[in-house]
Amino acid sequence: MGKLNIVGLGYIGLPTGLMFAANGIEVVGTDLNKKLVDTLNDRKLTFEEKGLPELFEKALAGGIEFSDSLIKTDRYIITVPTPYIKENKKIEAKYVIAAVSQVFDICEKGAVVVIESTVSPGTIDKFVRPIAEEKGLAIGKDVHLAHAPERIIPGNMVFELENNSRTIGADSQEIAEEIRTWYKSFCKGDIVLTDIKTAEMSKVVENTFRDINIAFANELAKICDREGMNVYELIGIANKHPRVNILQPGPGVGGHCISVDPWFLVGDYPDIVNIILAARHVNDAMPDYVIQRMGEIMRENGINDISEVGLYGLTYKENVDDLRESPTLQMLERFDKYFVKGINIFDPMVRDNRVDGQTQDFDEFIKKSKFIVVLVGHNHLKENEERFKNKIILDTRNIFEAGEKVYKL
């Protein structure tokens, strides 16, 4: 086999390529963003992630290369973005289509093309197979298609790449087995083989299940707030049951997986999908609910000046620098609707100012903010809990003990 060409060097493609290269496979990572490629060739990472610097060094020692052009080889893994179209809730497949088309133009005969990007069920049938046919390539002879959806989460990518189970969907058992040998170079988890459409569905279903579970927790939070109960205590009690595992409520659902993938099913099956759609509406409405709670707490405590309010956390989850679909950013979009200006914003993981009101000075943030809304539970926050003493707090992540000045969702 020739070198492995990883197409797309974002949050999924880069760690995946590094993992292969660190475990004895010759890898070329390709991305059309020349600035990103130049940064990697300068031996600098493009985002922060636990364990990634060490993995980067191992991959460099293993000879990984970075390029803004594809290479001619017989094996590819495509990890480009797959957003959804907000108007009709269907997958935006243009990045996958473009990547596959370029691969088909250059690949060796018999090449294996694996799509890791999360896609809606049937995407490869609808959008990828026709490209091969248009280019006169016989699938199963000139090219082989497969889907091996990624299963990693920012903040724990390196560990999960090595330890999570994986799914490989392919047209033939022989090709699926070959791809399994690639991933077995580092993956300690089970690698399940199936057909392509089942593999496509499996990833979307996993994230949709979690979205529905979070929506249930968020509705419980609203019920408990109305009835004067502690939702976290309630969930803790319920989860003592051996067949119950309710997730935690929060200010919304962010990231590029849980907040996006369920929409694929809504868009493709609008006449069938009801619970999934309802869960999406519940979770998408949580930033509005947090704003409502903020207003109630401000009125209760006589706070009229928005410059005395601080938002802690911009990223979509703790201990990452990833802002994709961040609930805080969703809140700030709502603020614009209400012409709210002058609020204080701090996030230790976001090194440059991305929004109005953001500061890099934690001391300044603490000094200015009489009322703080905790939106992300970074380790930095837990290490500095004493600095929040005597502040009025709306704790959407259940970091602080409930008290006179600490409000929950």
What residues are labeled active site?
203, 257
Tokens (6 digits) for 19? 């993992």
Distance CA 143, CA 133 (A): 11
Cα-Cα-Cα-Cα dihedral sign, residues 82, 87, 89, 91: negative
Tokens (6 digits) for 50? 């636990």
Residue 373 dihedral angles phi and psi, to the nearest 5°: -100, 115
102 with 128: CB under 8 angstroms?
no
Distance CA 26, CA 137 (A): 26
302: alpha, beta or left? (left if phi > 0; alpha if psi -120 to 50): left
Cα-Cα-Cα-Cα dihedral sign, residues 408, 362, 45, 50: negative
Distance CA 325, CA 287 (A): 12
Tokens (6 digits) for 328? 């805080």
The three-class DSSP label of residue 11 is coil
246 with 238: CB under 8 angstroms?
yes
Distance CA 271, CA 269 (A): 6
